[in-house]
């Protein structure tokens, strides 16, 4: 096959596929960079990404009753923003629960409002723990 016939035999889907793949790779690069650095949240101009915003909503729907508003703790459950564990420990604790002396947190592995969103909740708490996000409802970054 000569080079002058190559364009005629090339699949018509090849170029659009390459363009779409390249754009998708470029768009996800920043979130991949964040995950590579261990940061699960993104904040731009004081506004949070969808994951972190959803984490705020899920946290305040299920977790703040014990751990206090904005992860600040309460009289019977620890503050989560003071010493946020790594993601694997956090996932295990939320799924399986925690027993520490007389203190007990039930596991949420079967809770459809928590289990699928553990990483989102972590993103919100991590942003709070890092000091990148203040108290109260964050503004959502529109994409």
Structure tokens, 60: 């305040």
- Among 52, 63, 40, CA closest to 114: 63
pLDDT score at 10: 46
pLDDT surpasses 70 at 28: no
Q: What is the pTM of this model?
A: 0.74
pLDDT interval class at 103 (50, 70, 90): confident
pLDDT surpasses 90 at 23: no
pLDDT score at 63: 96
pLDDT surpasses 50 at 120: yes
- Exposure of 124 by Cβ count < 10 A (0-12 exposed, 13-18 middle, 19+ buried)? buried
CB 117 within 8 A of CB 54: yes
Under DSSP, the state recorded for 91 is H
Summarised one tens digit per residue, pLDDT across range 32-50 is: 555 556 899 999 999 999 9
As a whole number, the mean pLDDT across the chain is 82
pLDDT interval class at 102 (50, 70, 90): confident
CB 47 within 8 A of CB 139: yes
pLDDT surpasses 60 at 62: yes
Summarised one tens digit per residue, pLDDT across range 80-93 is: 999 999 999 999 99
Answer left, alpha or beta for residue 46, where phi above 0 means left and psi between -120 and 50 means alpha.
Answer: left
């Amino acid at each position: 096959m000569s080079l002058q016939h190559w364009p005629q035999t090339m699949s018509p889907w090849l170029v659009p596929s390459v363009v779409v793949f390249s754009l998708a790779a470029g768009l996800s690069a920043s979130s991949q960079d964040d995950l590579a650095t261990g940061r699960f949240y993104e904040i731009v101009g004081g506004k949070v990404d969808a994951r972190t915003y959803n984490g705020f909503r899920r946290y305040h729907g299920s977790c703040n009753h014990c751990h206090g508003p904005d992860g600040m703790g309460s009289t019977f459950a620890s503050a989560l923003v003071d010493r946020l564990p790594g993601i694997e420990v956090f996932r295990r604790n939320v799924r399986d629960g925690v027993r520490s002396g007389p203190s007990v947190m039930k596991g949420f592995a079967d809770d459809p409002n928590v289990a699928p969103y553990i990483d989102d909740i972590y993103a919100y708490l991590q942003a709070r723990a890092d000091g990148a996000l203040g108290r109260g409802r964050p503004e959502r970054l529109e994409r």
